[in-house]
Amino acid sequence: MAHTPKLFSPYTIRNVTLKNRIVMSPMCMYSSYNRDGKVTDWHRVHYPSRAAGQVGLIMLEATAVVPEGRISYQDLGIWSDDHIEGLQEVVRLIHHHDAKAAIQLAHAGRKAELEETIIAPSAIPFEGMKTPKEASKDDIAHIIASFREAARRAREAGFDIIEIHGAHGYLISEFLSPLANKRTDEYGGSLDNRYRLLREIIEAVKTEWNGPIFVRISANEYHEEGNQLEQFIQFAAYMKEQGVDLIDCSSGGVVPAAIDVYPGYQVDLADQIRHQAGIATGAVGLISSGLQAEEILGNGRADLVFIGRELLRNPYWPLSAAKELRAEIERPAQYHRA
């Protein structure tokens, strides 16, 4: 019997089984052209195309839980029940191609490029951007409630997996980081206090969602006074205790930094967190070939591989990876002549 590469082996998380280990990484498309956060024809084509290309899990872009938490006015939104119908349609189209659907719930914090007042843990701007308002206790309560309601809408839209965006210097990432969080109340200071917002968001999401939960983190802030891998191993242990299923290990974005970028440059973060915190991880960052992805999975360095730019270049990347690995995989009947 032919050997099945790890990349094309199924993976089960709670009650959800992915047909392979390939995840479409969440990437902002800035395509809600009417500034209403609603799904457009772009989304209806873009995401199902990758599902037809045999990606196992399609994760939608950072989707704002409140309008003032958008990165831009063109971001997808999930702050209103009016968003459910469009998201439901995208999920249906993804499922039609035997892929699973995930959504990344997000709040941009001080990196929101909007005219309105923006908020952050502290009134410290990201370099070159406007100064945010320090979040009040009422603001924090509203944010937590917004993630809870977003989880309800994600459930009603039919998503299989939720990812909470805690990376890249957006709001949750800002609260986690001593570089952006200078608060002196229970949401700032110690490691435990800086984790408090994410802890409360996870608990709120769980009141409306009993499926798998991923969290994306920036597992290295590339600054001597910021969080390093050591702190994120502890955060990951907290998340495991709370029932988070997988940590999506990215890096950077909290402050401007010179990052040494090379193929697989973030894989070691996923590897270290997987083994030291004892939690499943996803590897992301310049993973471009089937052989590279197979090495990561085969050597136990991560459980899933998140593919970003390569899936923008080639919606059928899994078919290319299968050819590279000499694996026979399913493909749409319409492509059998290819």
DSSP secondary structure, 194-230, as one string: HHHHHHHHHHHHHTT--S-EEEEEES--SSTTS--HH
Q: Say which residue the tokens 């990376």 belong to.
A: 167
Per-residue pLDDT at 145: 98
Which region, left, alpha or beta, applies to residue 158 given φ > 0 means left and ψ of -120 to 50 means alpha? Answer: left
For residue 316, which amino acid is it?
Y
What integer best gives the mean pLDDT of the chain?
A: 96
d(CA 92, CA 30): 22
d(CA 96, CA 114): 36
Both tokens assigned to 320? 């290319």
At residue 336 the predicted structure's pLDDT band, cuts being 50, 70 and 90, is: low
d(CA 286, CA 251): 12
Q: Are 161 and 212 in contact (CB under 8 A)?
A: yes
For the chain, how many helices (H) and strands (E)? 10, 12
What percentage of the chain carries pLDDT values higher than 90? 94
**Does residue 114 have a pLDDT over 70?**
yes
State the maximum Cα–Cα separation within the chain, in Å, rounded to a whole number.
64
Per-residue pLDDT at 70: 97
Q: Are 289 and 324 in contact (CB under 8 A)?
A: yes
d(CA 151, CA 303): 24
Mean pLDDT of 38-58: 97
d(CA 166, CA 200): 13
* All structural domains of the chain: 6-335 (3.20.20.70)
Q: How does pLDDT run across 169-195, given as a tens digit for each residue?
A: 999 999 999 999 999 999 999 999 999
Helix then strand then coil, in percent of the chain rounded to 5, is: 40, 15, 45
Q: Are 58 and 19 in contact (CB under 8 A)?
A: no
d(CA 128, CA 131): 9
| pTM of the predicted structure, to 2 decimals | 0.96
Q: Are 238 and 200 in contact (CB under 8 A)?
A: no
Instruction: Name residues whose C-beta falls within 8 Å of residue 310's C-beta, 6 or more positions apart in sequence.
Output: 287, 288, 317
Q: Is the dihedral of CA 311, 45, 215, 280 positive or negative?
A: negative
Q: How does pLDDT run across 155-173, given as a tens digit for each residue?
A: 999 999 999 999 999 999 9
Q: How does pLDDT run across 276-295, given as a tens digit for each residue?
A: 999 999 999 999 999 999 99
Q: Which range, of 111-120, 261-270, 327-336, averages the lowest pLDDT?
A: 327-336
